[in-house]
Amino acid sequence: MSDDSDPLAALHDHLAATEELPVEREAGWRLGEAQALAAEIADGGVDDATVVRRADEIRTLLAAVDGTGDPEADDHVAAARELASRIADRADGG
């Protein structure tokens, strides 16, 4: 998974990877919501403003995940947080 070549796809891939892992219930709900938003922007066909807005929503959802109860899922969440922040910060010229 190359985060630099397609950060939108990588964001979705990291979130999708948590789907089959044994995560805590509340974290699972937030991850599911974040994954749905990531799928929307990874598929393309949405304008840049929508991409930035959805990435910011994903960043907010993931900020509320203190831990998943699974180390592998925690790694995916950390990577997804970083990607969501990079994408959302595009609005600031990044």
| Burial class of residue 18, CB neighbours in 10 A (0-12, 13-18, 19+) | buried
| Predicted confidence (pLDDT) per residue in 35-77, tens digit | 999 999 998 899 999 999 999 999 999 999 999 999 999 999 9
| Predicted confidence (pLDDT) per residue in 66-90, tens digit | 999 999 999 999 999 999 999 999 8
Three-state secondary structure string covering 4-35: CCCHHHHHHHHHHHCCCCCCCHHHHHHHHHHH
Domain borders along the chain are 27-92
The pTM is what? 0.90
CA–CA dist 86, 52 (Å, integer)? 9
Q: pLDDT band for position 22 (50/70/90)?
A: very high
Angle value at C-alpha 59, between 77 and 8, nearest 5 degrees = 75
